[in-house]
C-alpha cells in the first residue's frame, strides 16, 4: 500500500511549484521592467519626465508604455500617480481603479487606495476670477466749434459807421470854417442887410457844424461799439492825463 501512495507527494510538489511559478509571474506584472523593450524604453523616459516634475508629459509616456505592454500592470499605477501629481484627479482615480481591478498585491493596493483618497479630498481647482467688467467710456460731449472771426476792420457795419462818422466830422470842420468866414464878413459889411445875412449865415453854419460834430461822434462811437461786441474783439478805456484812452483789441 505504501508504494501506491508515493506519487501523491510528487504530484503535490508539482502543484506547489506551478503555483509558485504562477505567483511569481503574477507578481512580475506589478513590478518593472516591462517585458516589451519598446514599452520599457517609454517607461524609462517617463520616469525622467516625472523626475523633472513634468507630470502631465510623464503620464502620457506611462500610458503609451502600457499600450505597448498591457501585461505590465505596474504602469497603471505610474499613470495614476503622474496624473494625480499633474492635478488631473478624475483621470487619476480611473487609472487607480483599473490598477485595483488587476488584483495587485496588498501593499500596492493600499498605495492605490491612498491615492484615490487624496484625489477625492483634494480641493477642486478654483475657477479663474471673472475679469472685471469694463466700464463704458464716458460720453464724449461735442465741443461746438466757433467759426473763425474775421479781422475787425473787415466788419462791414462797423466800417460803415466809422467812415460815416469820419465824414460827418470832416463836414463839421468845413461848416465850422464857413461859419468863421461868415462871422468875419460881418466886420466888413457895408450895409445892415449884409451884416444880418453874414451873421445869419455864420450862425447857421456854426449850428450845422455842431450837429455834424455830434452826428460824427455818434457814428464813430457806434462803430467802436460794433467792433467791441464782436467775439474776437475787445475794448478798453484807460484814464490818461487830460482825458481817456480808448483801446481796441481784435484780430488783424
**Residue 133 falls inside a structural domain:** no
Q: In angstroms, how far apart are the furthest CA atoms of the chain?
A: 204
**Residue 130 falls inside a structural domain:** no
Query: Taking the model in full, what pTM does it have?
Result: 0.42
**Residue 139 falls inside a structural domain:** no
* Each residue's pLDDT tens digit, 23-74: 444 446 898 999 999 999 999 999 999 999 999 999 999 999 999 999 999 9
**Residue 203 falls inside a structural domain:** yes
Q: Which residue has the cell 470854417?
A: 177
* Each residue's pLDDT tens digit, 181-237: 777 776 765 665 766 677 788 788 788 877 877 887 887 787 778 767 765 545 555
If asked whether residues 115 and 28 sit together in one domain, one would say yes
pLDDT bracket for residue 108 (50, 70, 90) = very high
* Sign of torsion over alpha carbons 130, 131, 132, 136: negative
List the domain range (segments joined by +) for residue 209: 152-249
- Helix spans in 29-149 (H): 37-51, 55-68, 74-85, 89-101, 106-121
> Rounded CA gap, 117 and 126, in Å?
20
Q: Which residue has the cell 500596492?
A: 108
Amino acid at each position: 500500500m505504501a508504494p501506491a501512495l508515493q506519487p501523491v507527494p510528487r504530484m503535490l510538489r508539482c502543484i506547489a511549484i506551478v503555483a509558485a511559478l504562477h505567483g511569481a509571474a503574477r507578481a512580475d506584472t506589478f513590478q518593472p521592467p516591462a517585458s516589451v523593450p519598446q514599452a520599457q524604453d517609454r517607461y524609462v523616459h517617463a520616469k525622467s519626465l516625472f523626475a523633472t516634475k513634468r507630470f502631465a508629459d510623464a503620464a502620457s509616456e506611462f500610458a503609451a508604455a502600457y499600450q505597448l505592454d498591457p501585461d505590465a500592470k505596474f504602469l497603471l499605477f505610474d499613470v495614476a500617480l503622474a496624473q494625480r501629481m499633474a492635478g488631473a484627479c478624475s483621470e487619476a482615480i480611473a487609472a487607480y481603479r483599473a490598477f485595483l481591478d488587476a488584483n495587485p498585491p496588498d501593499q500596492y493596493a493600499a498605495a492605490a487606495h491612498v491615492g484615490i483618497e487624496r484625489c477625492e479630498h483634494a480641493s477642486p481647482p478654483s475657477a479663474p476670477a471673472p475679469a472685471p467688467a469694463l466700464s463704458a467710456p464716458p460720453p464724449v460731449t461735442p465741443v461746438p466749434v466757433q467759426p473763425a472771426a474775421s479781422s475787425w476792420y473787415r466788419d462791414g457795419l462797423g466800417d460803415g459807421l466809422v467812415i460815416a462818422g469820419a465824414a460827418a466830422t470832416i463836414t463839421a470842420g468845413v461848416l465850422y470854417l464857413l461859419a468863421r468866414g461868415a462871422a468875419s464878413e460881418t466886420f466888413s459889411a457895408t450895409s445892415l442887410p449884409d451884416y444880418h445875412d453874414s451873421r445869419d449865415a455864420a450862425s447857421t453854419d456854426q449850428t450845422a457844424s455842431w450837429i455834424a460834430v455830434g452826428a460824427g461822434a455818434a457814428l464813430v462811437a457806434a462803430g467802436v461799439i460794433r467792433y467791441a461786441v464782436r467775439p474776437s474783439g475787445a475794448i478798453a478805456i484807460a484814464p490818461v492825463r487830460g482825458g481817456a484812452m480808448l483801446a481796441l483789441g481784435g484780430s488783424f
